[in-house]
Amino acid sequence: MRKAIVKCKLKNHDEFERKLSDIDLDFSQIYWQHDRIYVPRNYKPHANFPRLIMRTEMRSVDKPAKYYFILKRHIEDSGIDVAEETIIQDYEKLVNIILQLGFKPIAEVSRRRQDLKMGEGNFIFLDKVDGKSGYYAKIESDLAPGDSIIAAREDLEKTFKTLGESNFINNAYFEI
């Protein structure tokens, strides 16, 4: 799926949440995610290489964790992010396959996350990333065929600016 993604470091987490709440938009309960990121052996940042992510997600302590396999690719020339995600049953077997395909582990990222759905295909994520100061927000918008990535990114940035945020970040959490 093609996506437009804009991420920023928040000036004030509570104020950001309050502004959304004032327009009747409320985040989900906090849940935990842990990502293990794998890249090809010849990986270079900003070179359109794919990243494979093994995600563990726990939404509730009384339910089992869910495991996801995610393929992400940022196409630098266009600014489009391609993301495919599937739920997996056997985490260990898939990690062995990833390693046998020549990918290597590059980073691990844990976060406490809340999400908010804003219409069809639009999400805001509020993240507290372990080992990083402050809070981050990310808006993702699914792109339909023919949608302009430039216009979509401008709309997402405008949304952040309307909420008083403009400290945009172009890197993945493990690169910050």
Residue 121 or 132, more confident: 132
3-state helix, strand, coil in the chain (%, to 5): 20, 45, 35
**What confidence score (pLDDT) does residue 87 get?**
96
Phi and psi torsions of 152, nearest 5°: -65, -45
- Band of residue 80 on the pLDDT scale cut at 50, 70, 90: confident
Distance CA 164, CA 146 (A): 30
Checking 28-31 for CB contacts under 8 A at 24+ apart, the result is: 28/114, 28/115, 28/116, 29/59, 29/114, 30/112, 30/113, 30/114, 31/57, 31/58, 31/59, 31/60, 31/112, 31/113, 31/114
Tell me the pLDDT band of 140, cut-offs 50, 70 and 90.
very high
Domains of the chain: 2-171 (2.40.320.10)
pLDDT for res 127: 97
56: nearest Cα among 65, 45, 44: 65
pLDDT higher than 70, residue 76: no
Average pLDDT, the chain: 91
State mean pLDDT over 77-101. 89
Backbone dihedral angles phi then psi of residue 19, each to the nearest 5 degrees: -60, -40
Task: Give the count of beta carbons closer than 10 Å to the beta carbon of residue 93.
Answer: 10
Residues 6+ apart with CB under 8 A from 84: 1, 70, 71
Tell me how many helices (H) and strands (E) the chain has: 3, 9
Q: In terms of pLDDT, which residue wins out, 79 or 140?
A: 140
Report residue 143: phi and psi, to 5°: -100, 130
pLDDT of 176 reads 85
pTM, two decimals, is 0.88
Q: What is the mean pLDDT of residues 45-67?
A: 90
Least confident span in 27-31, 73-77, 160-164 = 73-77
pLDDT tens-digit readout, 81-92: 788 999 999 999
Higher pLDDT, 57 or 172: 57
pLDDT (0 to 100) of residue 78: 67
Instruction: Tell me the pLDDT band of 77, cut-offs 50, 70 and 90.
Output: low
- Are 77 and 88 in contact by the 8 Å Cβ rule? The answer is no
Q: Is residue 4 pLDDT above 90, yes or no?
A: no
